[in-house]
Amino acid sequence: MSPEVSRRTLLGGAAAAAVLSALPLSVREALAAPGKPGRLTDIQHVVVLMQENRAFDHYFGTLPGVRGFGDRAAVRGVNGRSLFHQPDPSRKEGHLLPFPMNAAHTSAYQQGAPAFGFVDSMKAWNDGLADGAVSRRSSGWLGQGYYEPADMPFYNAIASVFTTCDAYHASVQCNTNTNRDHFMTGTSGGTVRDVPVTDNSYIPGGYEWTTYAERLERAGISWKTYQALDNYDDNALAWFAPFQQAKPGESLYERGMRMAGDPAKEKDPFAMGDALVEAFTADIQADRLPQVSWMVAPAALSEHANYAPPSEYTDVDLVLYLRKCGEHANYALAG
């Protein structure tokens, strides 16, 4: 079945009505329009939004067709059961399976997270047995909780009609900064220096290895990081020496360090979200959107476990504007 047929089948199916009703009207109208034939080589712009501390199964474990909780190829532990059966001596059955967090009646949107630092993650990994996610780290049981489609209607609607990549992984089983280092450079340091980055600390003067942004610059490929004054310290470029040393007016500063937003509204996450989207859309309107863009969300819209996950506020605006401009250029949005 072709992608166009399958999409139209979905749009026309009765079961899809409830899913698609969660989408804004402009997105539904864009989806109903005829699809344009094309190839990967037609993509002119890549836009990447990386959010915080949420696992694929935590959001999409129940999504039909993905490698979620129904994965028949799930690795089995030494007890012969899938690794979804995480050992838990505190329970009479001896294990804890993934469970719905019932966000409608609990504080599950801001439930916090199990310990996920390097040492705790290695305990959970347990030399490859992968049987310590619940029992070998503090608050491990939280890692087995997941959201149901009704808890996240927009994300599930988008996932149902767009491509959902389910070959999920963490670059490093470790803290945020370590994974963002890998995200922006291809390594957390272990392949280029004596001591890899395994926590959220920094080094005086900044890290010394090159970032994707610098490599793109040398290759003549345009790029930019979009961020507001409140960026939750999630712009990994700021942790590297060339960007720390860059001055206003210089390319690395203007493309990698410049922040949007009104300083008087820095504590307002929605104002910061607006500033982020406005900076992005202004470049589209002026026909200066770079070939590669990275988005950095404000803290309260970052989907960190301390914040409510539907940062759909920012994501809706990005998707809406890209779909609106789809007739003018070809985009690939990754999140």
pLDDT-wise least confident of 65-74, 84-93, 103-112, 260-269: 103-112
Q: Put residue 113 in one of left, alpha, beta given phi > 0 → left and psi -120 to 50 → alpha.
A: beta
**Number of neighbours of residue 298 by Cβ within 10 angstroms:** 28
pLDDT of residue 22: 60
pLDDT mean across residues, the chain: 85
Query: How far is it, in rounded angstroms, from Cα 125 to Cα 122?
Result: 5
pLDDT of residue 1: 37
Q: Which residue has the tokens 């005086």?
A: 204
Nearest to 7 by CA among 33, 26, 41, 25: 33
Give me the half-sphere count of Cα atoms (radius 13 Å) on the Cβ side of residue 61: 20
Residue 151 per-residue DSSP state: G
| 318-332: pLDDT as tens digits | 655 665 565 445 666
Query: How far is it, in rounded angstroms, from Cα 233 to Cα 239?
Result: 9
pLDDT exceeding 90 applies to what percent of the chain? 51
Give me the half-sphere count of Cα atoms (radius 13 Å) on the Cβ side of residue 146: 19
Q: Do residues 59 and 310 make contact, with C-beta atoms less than 8 angstroms apart?
A: no
Position with higher pLDDT, 4 vs 235: 235
Strands 95-96 and 86-87: antiparallel
pLDDT at 15 over 60: no
pLDDT-wise least confident of 135-149, 260-274, 310-324: 310-324
**Number of neighbours of residue 178 by Cβ within 10 angstroms:** 25
CA–chain centroid gap for 105, Å, is 26
pLDDT at 11 over 50: no
Give me the half-sphere count of Cα atoms (radius 13 Å) on the Cβ side of residue 84: 17
What mean pLDDT is predicted for residues 236-259?
A: 98
What mean pLDDT is predicted for residues 93-109?
A: 88
- E-assigned strands of 151-221? none
What mean pLDDT is predicted for residues 186-190?
A: 93
